[in-house]
Amino acid sequence: MKRYSALSLATEGLRGHRGWTPAWRKARPNDGYDAIVVGGGGHGLATAYYLAKNHGICRVALLEKGWIGGGNTGRNTTAVRSNYFYPESVALYDLALRLYEDLSRDLNFNVMLSQRGMLIAAHTPMQMEICARIANAMQLNGVDGELMGAEEAVKRAPLLNQDPQARFKCMGGVWQQRAGVARHDAVAWGYARAASDMGVDIIENCTVTDLLVEGGRITGVETDMGTIRADRVGLAAAGATPGLAAMGDVRLPIHNYALQAFVSEPVKPMLDIVLLYLGTGTYVSQSDKGELVIGGGLDRVPTHGQRGNLPAQETVLSGLLEMFPAFAQLKLLRQWAGVVDVVPDSSPVIGPAGPEGLFLNCGWGTGGFKAIPAGGWLLAHLLATGAHHEISRPFDLDRFARGRLIDEAAGAGIAH
């Protein structure tokens, strides 16, 4: 693999950029592997990478139905943070954030992590109490979090609506400095390139159509490119996971919903933080190109179609204009949706399921981009050792029968 560096960039610049080679090999499936990972989103790609890097398991096939990063990983609004409520969640999301902090160096691929800070803003005394509770929980969990008042908050987002008559006038909020954004495609491509370099076969346009189970053990998968054998299979297919798991007679506590995002025309820098407003449910950041990247709540109709509906659009955008009246002048450039896999307690499902050798990493719902390095790390651990890492243990499917839910919707009021 050709290493990327300032020197290689300069040299290539002088040679007219003719010496670059593809970042990962276009592989065709062999008939046998040590492990198969289904789904070429961030979680699947990170799993393949950590299988090779942490466990020395390199005979790995990563099977992706379309192109890598074409699912939710390439459709998300890239907010990265670890301001959760329960210790189990903080252990998980802060592992991810710590891995993100070193990821560009680790992968030799610039994932453009920008820890510009994130404000969860409140507009009522009750919401300020919620923010204080989140800040306290974060500090108790050993994560950076701080409560701030209106003046400090408005300093960080000066265009916020400050009309005394404003319906959602900002009262302050909770701040996480280490939160921010990263480049979603780069995360997918960086993991793919580094995994491929260690021998992982990244196989695109390959749809898994069945799981092969013999005598209670997984023995491989059926695909539209033929049968591929392995005695360990990891599923990381977001909204498609329930359908895949059903092929192994596994039911999941998942409903699929569409989640939308919006991008405005590019403008000069005017918002250098990530802002989530509790009152409107809308959140926004400005990309390096100058576009506003806008998101909000789910469409409330369960669906497998990657399209958003109009009522959710109206809610998100009217919320944005309440927060920033000046944005009314902007034109929207693009709007899209991804199918997110939502679990009743808004926490992921990581662990074994059904036939021996089958493992899941799904249920990330609206917030799994920030978790990609950890999700991959933990699924790789499961595939390699057959046992939970201590951080993934609480997220096992058995928590539903044990009544040990990790209810982040109630705890942190998670959005994304």
Partner 1 sequence: MQVFTCPFCGPRDETEFHFAAEAGKERPQPAEETSDADWADYLYFNDAPRGPAREVWVHVTCGEFFLMTRDTVTRAVSEVAPLPGRGE
Of the pair 113, 252, the CB lying nearest partner 1 is at: 252
Distance CA 347, CA 345 (A): 5
Q: How far is the CB of 207 from partner 1 (least distance, A)?
A: 13
Among 123, 232, 370, 381, binds ligand FAD (CB under 6 A): 370
Name the binder of 76 from partner 1, ligand FAD, none, CB < 5-8 A by kind. Answer: ligand FAD
- Among 110, 207, 287, 313, which residue sits at the site for ligand FAD (rule: CB under 6 A)? 207
Q: Does 183 bind ligand FAD (CB under 6 A)?
A: no
| Coil, helix or strand at residue 400 | helix
Beta bridge partners of 61: 36, 201
Q: 255 or 389, CB closer to partner 1?
A: 255
Tokens 């359908």 belong to 243
Which one-letter amino acid corresponds to residue 377?
W
Q: Of the candidates 240, 292, 349, 383, which one interacts with ligand FAD according to CB under 6 A? A: 240
388 and 396 in contact (C-beta within 8 Å)? Answer: yes
For residues 219 and 35, is the Cβ–Cβ distance under 8 A? Answer: no
CB 69 within 8 A of CB 42: yes
Say if residues 107 and 179 touch (Cβ distance below 8 Å): no
**Segment contacting ligand FAD (CB under 6 A): 17-25, 33-41, 159-167, 349-357?**
33-41
Least distance to partner 1, CB of residue 310, Å:
5
Q: Rule CB under 8 A: is residue 404 a binding residue for partner 1?
A: no
Q: Looking at 108, 207, 287, 303, which residue binds partner 1 (CB under 8 A)?
A: 303
205 CB neighbour count, 10 Å cutoff:
12
Interaction with ligand FAD in 43-72: which residues (CB under 6 A)? 43-44, 63-66, 70-72
| Residue 96 Ramachandran class (φ > 0 left, ψ -120 to 50 alpha, else beta) | alpha
**Of 24, 33, 35, 41, the one binding ligand FAD by CB under 6 A:** 41
Q: Smallest distance, Å, CB 98 to ligand FAD?
A: 15
Q: What are phi and psi of 39, to 5 degrees?
A: 110, 115
Within 331-360, the residues that bind partner 1 by CB under 8 A are 344
Count CB atoms within 10 A of the CB of residue 121: 29
Only one of the segments 65-73, 154-162, 238-246, 275-283 lies at the binding site for partner 1 (rule: CB under 8 A); that segment is 238-246
Q: Which two tokens stand for residue 403?
A: 């009544």
Neighbours of 51 (CB within 10 A): 29
Residue numbers 361-400 binding partner 1 by CB under 8 A: 400
Query: Quick one: 4 or 83, whose CB is closer to ligand FAD?
Result: 83
Number of Cβ within a 10 Å radius of residue 313: 17
Is 178 near ligand FAD (CB under 6 A)?
no
Terminal-residue alpha carbon distance, the chain: 35
Neighbouring C-beta atoms of residue 159, cutoff 10 Å: 14
Which option in ligand FAD, partner 1, none does residue 216 bind, with CB closer than 5 to 8 A by kind?
none
| Residue 96 in contact with ligand FAD, rule: CB under 6 A | no
Residue 298 beta carbon to partner 1: minimum distance, rounded to whole angstroms: 11
Considering only CA atoms, which of 11, 55, 17, 19 is closest in space to residue 37? 55
Give the three-class secondary structure for 8: helix
- C-alpha–C-alpha distance, residues 82 and 370, integer Å: 8
d(CA 350, CA 362): 7
Tokens of 14: 């002088």
Picked from partner 1, ligand FAD, none, the partner binding residue 252 (CB below 5 to 8 A depending on kind) is: partner 1
- Binding region for ligand FAD (CB under 6 A) out of 109-117, 226-234, 311-319, 367-375: 367-375
285 binds, among ligand FAD, partner 1, none (CB under 5 to 8 A by kind): none
Would you say 14 or 401 has its CB closer to partner 1?
401
Does 302 sit near partner 1 (CB under 8 A)? yes
Structure tokens at 370: 């920030």
Q: Does 78 bind ligand FAD (CB under 6 A)?
A: yes
Residues that bind partner 1 (CB under 8 A): 242-243, 246, 251-256, 300-305, 309-311, 344, 400-403
Residues that bind ligand FAD (CB under 6 A): 38-44, 63-66, 70-73, 75-79, 207-208, 236-238, 240, 244, 259-261, 295, 338, 340, 364, 366-370, 416
